[in-house]
Amino acid sequence: MSKVRTPKQHRGIQTKNRIMKAAFQLFAKKGIHGTNSKEIVGKAGVSIGSFYSYFKNKKTLLLEMLEDYLDRHYTTIWKPMDNFSIHELGRDDIKLIIESVFKAYDISPEFHRQTHALRYSDPDINRIYDRERNREVEQVKHLIENNITRLSVKDPLAAAIVIHNAVENVAHTAKFIGSKIDEKRLINELTDMIYSFFSKETTPL
Amino acid sequence: MSKVRTPKQHRGIQTKNRIMKAAFQLFAKKGIHGTNSKEIVGKAGVSIGSFYSYFKNKKTLLLEMLEDYLDRHYTTIWKPMDNFSIHELGRDDIKLIIESVFKAYDISPEFHRQTHALRYSDPDINRIYDRERNREVEQVKHLIENNITRLSVKDPLAAAIVIHNAVENVAHTAKFIGSKIDEKRLINELTDMIYSFFSKETTPL
Amino acid sequence: MSKVRTPKQHRGIQTKNRIMKAAFQLFAKKGIHGTNSKEIVGKAGVSIGSFYSYFKNKKTLLLEMLEDYLDRHYTTIWKPMDNFSIHELGRDDIKLIIESVFKAYDISPEFHRQTHALRYSDPDINRIYDRERNREVEQVKHLIENNITRLSVKDPLAAAIVIHNAVENVAHTAKFIGSKIDEKRLINELTDMIYSFFSKETTPL
Amino acid sequence: MSKVRTPKQHRGIQTKNRIMKAAFQLFAKKGIHGTNSKEIVGKAGVSIGSFYSYFKNKKTLLLEMLEDYLDRHYTTIWKPMDNFSIHELGRDDIKLIIESVFKAYDISPEFHRQTHALRYSDPDINRIYDRERNREVEQVKHLIENNITRLSVKDPLAAAIVIHNAVENVAHTAKFIGSKIDEKRLINELTDMIYSFFSKETTPL
DNA sequence: AATGAATGAGCTTTCATTCAT
DNA sequence: GATGAATGAAAGCTCATTCAT
C-alpha cells in the first residue's frame, strides 16, 4: 500500500491544491527555507497529517510545484509562437520572443528566484530546471536551423545554448535583482546582440 | 572591547586561516547548509571556541570567505589584461578574455556554485556579488567605450550588462552543471556572438 | 496558527501537567538556573519537542508556574478569612492571619524561595510578584480600614505596606533561611508588634 | 604555591582594585549574570590572565566585593550611632536610625539588589548576608536591651529579628522596586509601628 | 480521509577558565 | 607580573516527520 495518497475524490484534490497554493505563496514571500510545514498547512487550513498524505515530504512538494510552475513558464513563452512563421526571423521576431521570456517571469518572479537559487546546490531541483532548459534550448535550436541558410552559424546547438544563456541571465538580472537601468534598454541591446549574431558572416569590422 | 578577535600574533593568524581553509573545502564539498560549525573546526583541528573568537557567526565567516574568493576571481580575469591594447579589440582579444573568465572559475567551481546559489535568496551574499558584478561590468563598459568609434553600440552600459550576463551564464552552465557539449564549442559561439555584436552596423541580413 | 499549543485533548492536558509537575519539583530541588529543559522532559517522561509545543520557552513555563503557585498561595492565606468578623480585630485574629501566611509557605518553600530570588533581577517575575503583593496589601488595607475607628493609623495604605513587608520578610527568614530561633517566638513578637501598632494612640512611653 | 596572587606591590594592588571597581559598575548596570569576565577586564583595562591571578574565579570576586560592600553598608548605618545615648530611645531616634538604613542603600541600590537576589539561591552569598544580618540584629537587640526597663519586650532576640526584618523589607520595597507611594510615608508608618511596639504594655485597645 | 500530539536528532552560540608565551 | 589565544562543556530551541486516534 502506497503511503502517499493520490486524490481521486473531489475533496482530496481540493485539499492537495490548497496545500500547493498556500506553499506557493509562502515560498515566494518568505523563502523556501524560511517556510515550515506548520505554516503551510496553517495557511492551507488543513492538518499536518493531510500534508503527509499527499506529499512524501517537503521536498516532494517543492519538486511537484516546480514542475507545475515551469510548465506554465514554458507555455507562456512558446504558446504564442505556435503560429509563427519561423523561416523569416527578423529583428522584431527576436525582440518579441525575448519580451515573451521576460513576461513569463512575471507569473511569480519570487518563486522563480527562490527555486532557481537552489538549482546549483540541489541535484533534484537542477534536474527539473535542466529538463526545462533542454526543451527551451531545443526551441531556439529549431529557430536557428529553420533559418540556417540565411545564417552562418556553424554550431547550432552551441549557439542555441549561448543565446539561451544570455537571455536567461539578462532576465534574471532584470527580474530578480532589479537592474538600475531600464528593462527596455536591456531588451534592446540583447535583441541587437542576438540579431547581429545571426548575420555575423557579413563583413566583420 | 570587540567580541571578535582580530589576530595579531602568528598563532592567531594561523588559526583563523586554518578555519577558513577547512570551511572552504567543506563548503565546496558538502554545501554550505550541509556543513556545520563542528565539522569545520574538526577539520581545521581547532576548538569551537576559537571559531567564535574569530568569526561572529557562520554567516560572517561565509561573507569574509566570499569577499576573498571574489577578489581572487576578479584578479584572475583582469590582471592579464593590464598591458592590453584595448583600442583594437579583435576576435582573438575577445576570446582571450572569455577564456580568462572561464579559467577564473577553476579556482573553485564548487565554492562559486555554492555561494552563487545563495545569491538570489540571501541579501548579504547578493550585495557582495553585486559589487563584483558592478566592477566587472565597468571593465566591459570601458572596453566598449574605448572601441566605440569602430562600433555602433548606442547604449554602452546596457550592452556591457548584456554581454556580461551572457558570458557569466555560459560559464556557469559549463562549470556548474557541465554541458553535454564541449566547453570549447560554447566559447567559440559566445565569442562569435559578442564579436558580431561589435560589428553589427555592417550590412545586417 | 499559534506556535504554542493549547492542549484540548486529554492526552495533551496530561502532557502539559506532567511537564509542569516535573519542573516544579526540579526547580525546587536544583534551582531554576540549575535545571535545564532536557532534565525536565526527562523527569516528565516526554520529549523535548513536546516541551516546546506547550511552552514558548523555559521562561514562559516558569511564569505560568509562578502564577499558578501564587494563586494557591493567596488562596491558602485568605480563603479561611472569608467568614471572618473583621470588624473586631483582636490579637488572636492577627496571630491567626500570620499563622495562615506562614502555613501558605509550606506549599513549597523551596519553589517560593527560588522564584522570589529572581524577583529583584527579573522584571517579568517581579511583575507577577507585584500583582500578588498588591492584592495582599489590599486585603491588609481593608482590615485596617474596617477597624479604623478603633485605630489611630493615619495612612492606611502605607501602614498596610509596612505590615505586609514585615510579615513577608519574617516568613522568608523563617522559611527560607531557617532562623536559629523558633518560628513560634518570631510569630509571637510579630503579632505583638502589629497588635501594638493598632493601639499606638494610647499613652505612648 | 598558591595560584591566587596576593598583591603586595603598588601595581598589583591597583590592578586588583581596577578589576573590582569595573565589576562593581557592570554588575550594578547589567546584572551579575549579564556581565561576563571579558567585559570586566575590558572595562578595567587589564587582561583576562590578570583577572585569574587575583581571583580564583568569578564567584570569588563577587564574594569579596560583597563583603566590602556590606562593610560599607554597615558602617553607613551604625557609625553615626556611636555617640548615641541609646538609653532614652524616643520616636525621633528610631526614625533617625531608619533613615540611616534607607540612606545606606543609596551607596548602590543596584548592586545591593543584584546580590540580594542571589541570597536565596546561593549558599555562599547567603552566608555573607547572614553574617551581616546577625551583626545588625545584634545592634537592634542591644538597643532593646538598653531600654528594656521601659519596654515590655519579653523576647529581645525575636523582637530584634522581627524589627530588623520589617525595616529591611520596607527598604527593599522602596529602594529596589520603587513603591508607588512616597518613601517618607513608609518611613513614618514604619517608625510608628516600631515605636508603638516599644510601648505596647500600655493599655492596648 | 483527516487530525494533531508526540518525537528527537541536530544546530548555533556562550563563556568561565587554563596555560604557553 | 602580565598577556590573550585556545578550550569545550553546556544549553536552548527548531522542525520535518510519524502514527495513534
- Do D23 and D105 reside in the same domain of the chain? no
Q: Residue C54, CB half-sphere, CA atoms under 13 Å: how many?
A: 24
- Do D90 and D158 reside in the same domain of the chain? yes
Nearest neighbour of A166 by CB, restricted to B32, B169, B179: B169
Q: Is residue C1 part of a domain?
A: no
> Which grid cell is D16?
586588583
Q: Which residues of A169-205 are buried (b: 16+ CB within 10 A; e: fewer)?
A: bbbbbbbbeebeeebebbbbbbbbbbbbbbbbeeeeb
- Do A82 and A50 reside in the same domain of the chain? no
Nearest neighbour of A199 by CB, restricted to B126, B159, B205: B205
Contact D193 C194 (CB under 8 A): yes
- Give me the amino acid identity at A146: N
Domain that holds residue D14: 10-56
More confident residue, B83 or C11: C11
Nearest neighbour of B166 by CB, restricted to A166, A179, A199: A166
B8 pLDDT above the threshold of 70? no
The CATH number assigned to the domain holding B80 equals 1.10.357.10
Q: Is residue C161 part of a domain?
A: yes
The CATH number assigned to the domain holding B52 equals 1.10.10.60
- Do B101 and B165 reside in the same domain of the chain? yes
B and D touching (3 or more beta-carbon pairs closer than 8 Å) = yes
- Do C44 and C70 reside in the same domain of the chain? no
Q: What is the pLDDT of residues A124-176, one digit of tens each?
A: 999 999 999 999 999 999 999 988 877 778 899 999 999 999 999 999 999 99
Cα–Cα separations (whole angstroms), residue C8 to B154, C11, C18, C62? 70, 8, 15, 21
Q: Which of C27, C59, C150, C192 to mutate to test the interface with D (most CBs of D within 10 A)?
A: C192
Residue spans of alpha helices (H) in A120-182: 123-146, 156-172
- Do B33 and B74 reside in the same domain of the chain? no
- Do C38 and C79 reside in the same domain of the chain? no
Å between D51 CA and E19 C1'? 14
B9 reaches D (C-beta below 8 A): no
- Do A23 and A71 reside in the same domain of the chain? no
At which of C38, C56, C74 does a domain end?
Answer: C56
Q: Is residue A14 part of a domain?
A: yes
Q: Is residue B205 part of a domain?
A: no
Distance from CA of C66 to the nearest CA of D (A): 16
Cα–Cα separations (whole angstroms), residue D20 to D11, D40, D43? 14, 9, 10
Cα D189 from Cα C162, distance rounded (Å): 7
D and A touching (3 or more beta-carbon pairs closer than 8 Å) = no
Which of these, B199, B161, B143, B152, lies nearest to A197 by C-alpha position? Answer: B199
Q: Is residue A86 part of a domain?
A: yes
- Do B15 and B93 reside in the same domain of the chain? no
Q: What is the pTM of this model?
A: 0.86
CB pairs under 8 A between B and D: 5
Å between C36 CA and F10 C1'? 10
Confidence of residue C203 (pLDDT cuts 50, 70, 90): very low
Q: Is residue C204 part of a domain?
A: no
D39 reaches B (C-beta below 8 A): yes
C1 reaches A (C-beta below 8 A): yes
What is the arithmetic mean of pLDDT over B177-188? 90
Say which nucleotide is closest to residue A59, CA to C1' distance: F16
- Do B172 and B138 reside in the same domain of the chain? yes
Q: Is residue A43 part of a domain?
A: yes
- Do D48 and D74 reside in the same domain of the chain? no
Q: Is residue C47 part of a domain?
A: yes
Number of domains in chain A: 2
For D25-71, the DSSP string reads HHHHHH-STT--HHHHHHHHTS-HHHHHHH-SSHHHHHHHHHHHHHH
- Do A81 and A51 reside in the same domain of the chain? no
How does pLDDT run along chain D (205 residues), one tens digit per residue?
A: 446 777 767 777 888 999 999 999 999 999 999 999 999 999 999 999 999 999 999 999 999 999 999 999 999 999 877 766 567 788 999 999 999 999 999 999 999 999 998 998 899 999 999 999 999 999 999 999 988 877 778 899 999 999 999 999 999 999 998 878 999 999 999 999 999 888 744 444 4
Which of these, A188, A133, A186, lies nearest to A161 by C-alpha position? Answer: A133
